[in-house]
Chain A
Amino acid sequence: MAVETKIMNCIMCPLGCEMTVTIEDGAVIDVKGNTCPRGAQYAKDEVTAPKRMLTSTVGIKGGLLPLLPVVSAAVLPKGKILECAAYLRNVTVQAPIKTGDVVVKDILGLGVDIVASRDMEKI
């Protein structure tokens, strides 16, 4: 059986706890050093299927600014982040927009919406 330990920093909050993660045959069997349960969950995900939030911008017409900041409503597979970001580069919406409005539904069929992270009034 292949047992290995890995030093990993949790990225779920700015504390950035340094964790010692024990992995046996590709599965996490022990996590030490995390301050809260989110750290252990992060370690498990990171080993099996890493996930990340995505923040970017889309174009907006008729608002105060030419860009609208957006955020994924949930985490996306890490390997799909660049593809999602490339997709968003070609999206343009129309003002007015409210914080939380869905800008792209179910991006690339991954089951996650992209939502506005600020209001943009029509001017």
Chain B
Amino acid sequence: MNQLYDVIIVGGGPAGLSAAYSAWENGAKKIIIIERDRELGGILQQCIHNGFGLHHFKEELTGPGYAHRCIELIKDKPEIEVLVDTMVLDVLRNKTVIAVSPAKGLLQLEGKTVILTMGCRERTRGAIRIPGERPAGVFTAGAAQRMVNMEGYLPGHKIVILGSGDIGLIMARRMSLEGCKVQAVLEICPFSNGLTRNIVQCLNDYDIPLHLSHTIVKIHGEGRVTGVTVSKVDEKMCPIPGTEFDIECDTVLLSVGLIPENELSRGLMLEMHPLTSGPVVDQHRQTSLPGFYAAGNVVHVHDLVDFVSEEAEIAGKFAALEAQGKLDKNMRTVKVNPIDGVRTCVPQKLSLPQGGEKAKLFMRVAAPQRKVRLEVKSGDTVLVSRMLPVAKPSEMIAVEIPAEKTALMGDEITVGLKQ
């Protein structure tokens, strides 16, 4: 017999856990989390550094510490069931979820609502096309992180890191602490894509050089990496001939970005956003298909897990309300258009009841800027305006729009930067 769940959650990382807790708090009676790893917590379990939780738990935690807090919240609740070591194979548009596990075999679950919280994965060497040999010793930074922090072996001893995203920076420090030599971090952009604090405490502290506007043009080695050739790049990110130099190394770590993991969302034919690579959602995190919600890195890649939890709590709440038939059906849709220097904005639309509803927008800018004004406008009316001392693509900007302001919106609003 198939059981009917109020909320089925695909993925037991921070988004899934926070969504489950919030669904429970909001009255859902039958919730299930399906996780493919052997334990809950997702990627946080390998992010052993600290700096998590300052917003959400008002305390600085390590990744496993943050996961632990989230797990404690859902533990021992009869309304919340957990399946680990279980892979979701397919999600159907009628909210049937098909999964498989070594312990239970093939499972078919039916839900009133489904929350997609699959997170993201790393871009690989294939995705960025580095020419050269194909020797052993090239890893994504996240794969190396799992080896070093959970499995107990080192990927190598002399390291070059391509990409200055946060995972790359964190791994530069981590490898240094394990006694390895990190030769350099190379970044193709003229600015780093990581948090400033990570440049300071992960690179500067260990005297690791960061070469901006540089990339690897060749990987050397037969069997095993022996070094890389590096070149400066021009504004179009093309290598400049004559600027090449070699760096000796036995390992190359790639930290070249994350991509939301959306095979299931695509299978469901959800409307996807070309820039975030995630499903288009409203402020409740409902996707284009009623009853399907999405939250966390599957929607857009976050820099702070705290915002992942916040977003997932919203999804959990509204999925729970929908499962109980408490969601307002008479809502109008307002489109959110990022313009003038704002690259992406989530949610991409708002579903507003009469009288409006408080909404929070999460944005990324296209390029670093100083002293700019962020404006949320409906036509010529400025709804919210805020001065930003600095705006960087690596740091997500959040603004809240009060309910009474959302009531003033036309069919479309814009979010943009003004000098």
**Which A residues form the contact surface with B (CB < 8 A)?**
9-14, 16, 18, 52-57, 59, 64-67, 69-71, 78, 81-82, 85-86, 89, 99, 117-119
Contacts and interface: CB of A to CB of B under 8 A. Distances in A.
List 4 tightest A-B contacts by C-beta distance, closest first. Answer: A118-B64, A16-B196, A69-B48, A11-B197
A59 B201 contact: no
Contacts of A12: 197
A67 B64 CA distance: 12
Given A14-B395, A55-B48, A85-B179, 19 more contacts: A9-B200, A13-B51, A13-B197, A16-B196, A16-B395, A18-B196, A18-B389, A55-B62, A56-B48, A56-B177, A57-B148, A65-B150, A65-B151, A65-B152, A71-B50, A71-B62, A117-B62, A118-B65, A119-B68
Interface of B: 38-39, 45, 48-51, 54, 60-65, 67-68, 148-152, 176-179, 195-197, 199-201, 205, 303-304, 389-390, 395
Given A56-B177, A82-B177, A69 B62 contact: yes
Nearest to B197: A11
A9 B179 contact: no
A117 B64 contact: yes
Nearest to B166: A14
A16 to B, nearest CB: 4
A13 to B, nearest CB: 5
A89 B395 CA distance: 34
A14 B54 contact: yes
B179 A13 contact: no
Counting chain A CB atoms within 10 Å of each CB, the highest count among B150, B177, B200 belongs to B177
A11 B196 CA distance: 8
Contacts of B199: 9
A13 B54 contact: yes
Contacts of B50: 53, 55, 71
Contact of B151 (A67, A70, A118): A67
B303 A14 contact: yes
A115 to B, nearest CB: 10
Contact of A67 (B61, B150, B201): B150
Contacts of B390: 18
B201 A11 contact: yes
A118 B67 contact: yes
Given A55-B48, A66-B151, A89-B178, A71 B65 contact: yes
A12 B59 CA distance: 12
Contact of B152 (A16, A56, A67): A67
A85 B304 contact: no
A22 B62 CA distance: 33
Nearest to A98: B68
Given A57-B149, A71-B50, A118-B64, A52 B205 contact: yes
A11 to B, nearest CB: 4
A85 B152 contact: no
Nearest to B52: A14
Contacts of A89: 178-179
Nearest to A33: B389
A80 B103 CA distance: 47
A14 B51 contact: yes
Contacts of B205: 52, 78, 81
Nearest to A116: B64
9 contacts: A11-B200, A16-B197, A16-B395, A18-B390, A56-B178, A57-B149, A67-B151, A85-B177, A118-B64
